[in-house]
Amino acid sequence: MTDDNFDFSDTDNVKRKISWIFKSSNTFFSFLTEMLPNSIDFSEMKQFSPQKIDLSDLVSDICVAQIMVAKKKNINLSSLIDKDIEVYSDIFMLKSIINNLVSNAIKFSHENGTVVLNAVVSDNIIFISVKDCGIGMSDDICSKIFDSEFTISRDGTNGEKGTGFGLVATKFLVEKCGGSIDIESIKGKGTTASFTIPCHIEPD
């Protein structure tokens, strides 16, 4: 998916999609990143509430919400996710996970770059990845990226700021969904953030 797939002339529709994404995911995610530095135990803060989700539609909505930020750097958001992939999970958490990974990819990408989202299903497990060709990370930073005791706050390529706890919160949400997350990165060449969660397709 690229920005050419979106009808920006329908401003009301674009505004609705942006509002839907950011009200339900960014507010919650911001709350998590604010709470983590204070070491507050919020493990029971929200119950896992699964429902059937069309992954392609979900990613499309997230890309619509992020497209204006991406345009500031002329970054192309590309989705290779098949239309027929469904997952039975918590939509609130899944939106927050993917939205943060896409946001990070844009933040650390160079101008005129590309962020690619992909998904593969195998044995009732879905593997979702977000890849960029940005500034990447050293092995040392990459090994500590999920450690809440080791705050890593890096500026983006346009000076964007962060708390340093975004990926810690993302890991928490992935685990609430019954999955795991991994980061592969090469300094100066880019990063691939990937996570797995059970499909758990709801019986008809």
Buried b (16+ CB within 10 A) or exposed e, 60-95: bbbbbbbbebbeebebbbebebeeebbbbbbbbbbb
**Which residues neighbour 53 within 8 Å (Cβ) at sequence distance 6 or greater?**
86, 87, 88, 89, 91, 94
**Which residues neighbour 187 within 8 Å (Cβ) at sequence distance 6 or greater?**
135, 136, 137, 138
87-135 pLDDT, tens digit per residue, is 999 998 999 899 999 999 999 999 999 999 999 999 999 999 999 999 9
Is residue 24 predicted with pLDDT exceeding 60? no
148: left (phi over 0), alpha (psi -120 to 50) or beta: alpha
* Rounded Cα–Cα distance for residues 69 and 140 (Å): 29
- Tokens representing 80 are 């290779």
- Contact (Cβ atoms closer than 8 angstroms) between residue 191 and residue 184: yes
Which range is most confident: 91-95, 146-150, 194-198? 194-198
Stronger pLDDT, 152 or 197, i.e. the higher one: 197
For the chain, percent of residues with pLDDT exceeding 70: 72
Residue boundaries of the structural domains of the chain? 3-198
Is residue 165 predicted with pLDDT exceeding 80? no
For residue 36, which of 126, 148, 137 has the smallest C-alpha distance? 148
**Which residues neighbour 10 within 8 Å (Cβ) at sequence distance 6 or greater?**
none
- Contact (Cβ atoms closer than 8 angstroms) between residue 173 and residue 99: no
- Residue positions counted in the chain: 204
pTM of the model: 0.78
Q: Does domain 3-198 have CATH number 3.20.20.30?
A: no
* Rounded Cα–Cα distance for residues 121 and 125 (Å): 6
